[in-house]
Amino acid sequence: MPKETFDIISDEKRERIYFAAAKVFARDGFEKANMREIAKIAVVSKGSLYDYFENKEDLYLSVSTHAISESRKNIDSIIDDKKDFFDQLKDIFHQGLKFVTKNREYTQLYANMSSCGMEDFARKLTLKVEKHTSDYYKEALKKGVDDGTIRPDTDIKMAAFIINSLYVILMISMVSEHYRIRLGEYLEIEDNAVEREIENKIDNLVEIIRFSLENWGRKA
């Protein structure tokens, strides 16, 4: 993780370094990423990077943790417990799409984490992220069951997994060429219109989720 010197630089400079690191790591992968290239994009000297981080691995761990933290704060900032579960879900998907559109490098970094060559770190960080997300969805779904919004026979654990899986695949489709092509093919939309079309279809997606949760296993 970063040295104390990194904590005392300006927020603007810190974000420049994080952005540059995310861009290079996402594009080139950990092994091929070059500290000189990161410094160039961040408009700092290569030597200054080593004033802030022990080595390339230290920078990678730091920017990965930062990316996850920013993504989490982005979603947590719009959670409104006064809304029903499905309206909250619409807000989460819309807000997530905005974040990915503005922070493609962070999302790509997370998507590539399992192949970065540091599986133990990737596993620990992924578990930390998924625990936070899993707890939110399970709690929100249980609240929906308790207040009658969601069917009482809902498998809360499976519902939480499916909903979050939809969210993840949708967001990764914004930065992964493979998943973007799949998305465009299934939804029959041009590549240059993916973000706009997905923004328009999020409410429909949530309505499909609403219909499923309200009608699973219901007797005629």
- Whether residue 130 is predicted with pLDDT greater than 80 in this model: the reply is yes
CATH code of 1-72, in short, is 1.10.357.10
- What confidence category does residue 220 fall into, taking pLDDT thresholds of 50, 70 and 90? very low
Kindly report, as residue ranges, where domains of CATH 1.10.357.10 are found in the chain: 1-72, 78-220
DSSP codes, 54-68: SSHHHHHHHHHHHHH
Mean pLDDT of the chain: 88
Report helix angle 104-111 to 11-32, nearest 10: 40
Q: What is the pLDDT of residue 47?
A: 94
How far is it, in rounded angstroms, from Cα 104 to Cα 100?
Answer: 5
pLDDT in tens, 36-45: 999 999 999 9
Positive or negative: CA dihedral 184, 23, 127, 76:
negative
Name which residue leads in pLDDT, 22 or 112. Answer: 22
Q: Which residue has the tokens 């069917």?
A: 151
Q: What is the pLDDT of residue 97?
A: 93
Name which residue leads in pLDDT, 201 or 113. Answer: 201
Report helix angle 56-76 to 85-102, nearest 10: 140
**Mean local confidence (pLDDT), 112-136:** 78
44 DSSP assignment: S
**The residue count for the chain:** 220
**Mean local confidence (pLDDT), 101-110:** 88
**Fold type of domain 78-220:** Tetracycline Repressor; domain 2 (1.10.357)
